[in-house]
Structure 1
Amino acid sequence: MRAELKGLPKDLADIVGAHIWAAGQLVDEDPELAFRHAEAARRRAGRLPIVREAAAETAYAAGEYAIALREFRAIRRMSGGDQLIPVIADCERALGRPRDALEVLAELDPKTKDMWLRMECLLVEAGIRADLGQRAEAMRLLQAAISRKVGPPFGQARLRYAYANLLEEEGDVEGAREWFSSAAALDQGAELDTSDRIAQLDGVVLPDFTPDEEDDDESEGDVGDESRDTEVEPEDSELEGDEPEADEDDEPEGDEDDEPEGDVGDESRDTEVEPEDSELEGDEPELQVVEPELDFEPEPQLDLEVEPEPERDVEAEGVDDEQLSEDEPSGADEDEERAAEDGGVAEEEQD
């Protein structure tokens, strides 16, 4: 790839190369995204064969057969050869033009010794014949190729698989099962779904697991996973020192001046540390029920109510002292009373 990108400026070559690499990595898992990467590379360097090839292959995988046909034809004009005849014919077939597809297959050199190329063209032609309603001709082509036993094992497996598929469409269940089994024996990499096809012929109902159903099953089966995930995140941030509130919880008990309510919440904080440690070690967080205790703290309210009580006692005592001081006679008042009594006695004596 680097050799073909040498004619581009370095920055442009890096961008185009990155898009081509991404397209190659994603073509099997996400063909549509791979196709977008290839199109991005084609817009920047559409004259390079490697770029057009990436665009054609990803478009074919993504089901964009019109674009794939255009790109494959352009590549064949630039590079020549017959290697792209099978995919070009298959694109014509996918676009609903079987006659044009047969004309493309007729362009294959009959003297070619490339057995893989010949086998690919034969498989495409058999499919086209079946689409046209010529099932007998399609089966004859496949039978002739199978009887010659020429080509790699996986190619022979594909021939048998196609033949078994036609037999199943014709209603020959036993024959289809036999040929699917024969294809499975030659499919060393288990790339074909022969086991599933045999199971279906035997009446076995296979479960259909879609990605959405698998996600729902996982979410329903793992009860409490979301709560554990939400608890683990702040614990990790506490270990990294991202949240200051977590640092206050981890401070020693001696720092009581910073928080007046520290004496009240020490026990609850100690209970919090235990489930956090168990979760970090991978144990089940059975102590999660401790969390609701943090929602109420009654003791600080009791302390606030006790404070005004001494003031009420002092006021009461002050009132009693004043009343006592008013009721008790002073020393001057006693002298006046005695003088008045003496004056009264003197007047009585004079009389």
Structure 2
Amino acid sequence: MEDKNKRPSRPASSRPSGPNNARRREDLPARGGSSNRAGAPRQTRDGSDPRGARPAPMDREQSRLRPRIFEPDIPDEITGEELDKSLRAELLSLSAENAKVVARHLACVNLYAEDDPQRAHKHGVAAAHHAGRLAVVRESAGYAAYRAGHYEIALKELRASHRISGDVSMWPVMADCERGLGNPLKALNLAGSDEVKRLAKPEEIEMRIVASGARRDLGQFDAAVVTLTCKELKNEQEEWAVRLRYAYADALEAAGRKEESQEWFAKCAEIDTEEATDASERCL
């Protein structure tokens, strides 16, 4: 006989964009954030009565269920242990099963970041779907979307990460996403915000490069040069020095200052020992 007092069974719990391929490499900020870093809100409950009983799955409002997403395949050999211990530690607030799924997706974000950014992006979306309340996961998803050229999604994810953690290190990438979306004025607004004062030197330099690019987007070529005119151009040791000199030389060339441009391409080539740029060719 059917037990009329039996509680209903608990239901099982069940994120577009436009690449700007014509963008110059020197205008883009470095892929910020840790290379080891890579949502939907929690499923809400409705209709619960004073006794705590919940409607059976068939009675629940379907629009309130978390939508299913495309889950990209994860190679069997990827276990999630490939991530840094510090990153895996940030997943401990998740259930053990969910933490493993998220860790494996984040490992795939790193695995495909360079060779297959679109695939990496899909894994970023999946990770954020499973752990949307974790800043590090939203940040990883944002950077993956940025590398794949999905600037609108990248902005959404990076803004979410900032809201959760208060970290501003992704500010230059957010500004460049605005450029990618055709919003140079919004990029400049970000570059002039109070948050920029909190940036570490590498991110500060990247923001200068992005802001200079935004000036060029607006046809303000002399202003683009001024934006990059700083004492840091004398630096020869830091990793960002090559990018800064290259961007400065390129801005000079765009402003029609050919002789000065050649000089700075040569100065860039002097410290670009790994030939990360074509400065040696452009100074000829």
TM-score normalised by structure 2 residue count: 0.63
Which residues in structure 2 correspond to 1:232-251 (within 5 Å)? none
CA distance in 1, matches of 2:269, 2:238: 11
Q: Give the structure 2 partner of residue 92 of structure 1.
A: 178
Q: Give the counterpart of 1:81 among 133, 157, 167.
A: 167
CA distance in 1, matches of 2:161, 2:208: 22
CA distance in 2, matches of 1:185, 1:107: 34
CA distance in 1, matches of 2:237, 2:259: 26
1:105 Cα offset (Å): 1.5
CA distance in 2, matches of 1:156, 1:137: 20
2:272 pairs with 1:175: no
CA distance in 1, matches of 2:126, 2:150: 16
Cα 1:113–1:23, aligned 2, differ >3 Å: closer, same or farther? closer
CA distance in 2, matches of 1:128, 1:51: 28
1:120 Cα offset (Å): 1.5
Matched-pair identity in %: 40
2:115 partner SS = coil
1:145 Cα offset (Å): 4.1
CA RMSD of aligned residues (A): 2.2
Q: Give the structure 1 partner of residue 220 of structure 2.
A: 134
Report the residue type matching 1:13 in the other structure: A
Whether the aligned pair in 1 keeps the contact of 2:113 and 2:120 (CA below 8 Å) is: yes
1:193 Cα offset (Å): 2.9
CA distance in 1, matches of 2:199, 2:104: 36
2:249 partner SS = helix
2:91 pairs with 1:5: yes
Report the residue type matching 1:191 in the other structure: A
| 5+ residue gaps, structure 2 | 1-86
Report the residue type matching 2:247 in the other structure: A
Q: Give the counterpart of 2:119 among 25, 33, 36.
A: 33
1:171 Cα offset (Å): 4.4
Whether the aligned pair in 1 keeps the contact of 2:145 and 2:151 (CA below 8 Å) is: yes
Whether the aligned pair in 1 keeps the contact of 2:102 and 2:130 (CA below 8 Å) is: yes
Cα 1:124–1:86, aligned 2, differ >3 Å: closer, same or farther? same
2:158 pairs with 1:72: yes
Report the residue type matching 2:128 in the other structure: R
| 5+ residue gaps, structure 1 | 203-351
Q: Give the counterpart of 2:188 among 94, 98, 102.
A: 102
Whether the aligned pair in 2 keeps the contact of 1:154 and 1:186 (CA below 8 Å) is: no
Q: Deviations over 1:227-247 (max 9, x none)?
A: xxxxxxxxxxxxxxxxxxxxx
CA distance in 2, matches of 1:46, 1:88: 19
2:248 pairs with 1:153: no
Q: Deviations over 1:181-222 (max 9, x none)?
A: 211212233322323444xxx5xxxxxxxxxxxxxxxxxxxx
Cα 1:57–1:194, aligned 2, differ >3 Å: closer, same or farther? same
2:249 pairs with 1:164: yes
Which residues in structure 2 correspond to 1:251-330 (within 5 Å)? none
1:179 Cα offset (Å): 1.6
Whether the aligned pair in 2 keeps the contact of 1:153 and 1:186 (CA below 8 Å) is: no
CA distance in 2, matches of 1:177, 1:33: 39
1:110 Cα offset (Å): 6.6
CA distance in 2, matches of 1:35, 1:110: 27
CA distance in 2, matches of 1:111, 1:50: 22
CA distance in 2, matches of 1:168, 1:106: 25
Q: Give the structure 2 partner of residue 233 of structure 1.
A: none
CA distance in 2, matches of 1:66, 1:48: 20
1:172 Cα offset (Å): 4.5
Q: Give the structure 2 partner of residue 57 of structure 1.
A: 143
Q: Give the structure 2 partner of residue 184 of structure 1.
A: 269
Cα 1:137–1:145, aligned 2, differ >3 Å: closer, same or farther? farther
Which residues in structure 2 correspond to 1:187-198 (within 5 Å)? 187-198=272-283
1:169 Cα offset (Å): 2.7
CA distance in 1, matches of 2:196, 2:107: 36
CA distance in 2, matches of 1:193, 1:35: 28
Cα 1:28–1:197, aligned 2, differ >3 Å: closer, same or farther? farther
Cα 1:91–1:110, aligned 2, differ >3 Å: closer, same or farther? closer
Q: Give the counterpart of 2:134 among 41, 48, 71.
A: 48
1:173 Cα offset (Å): 4.2
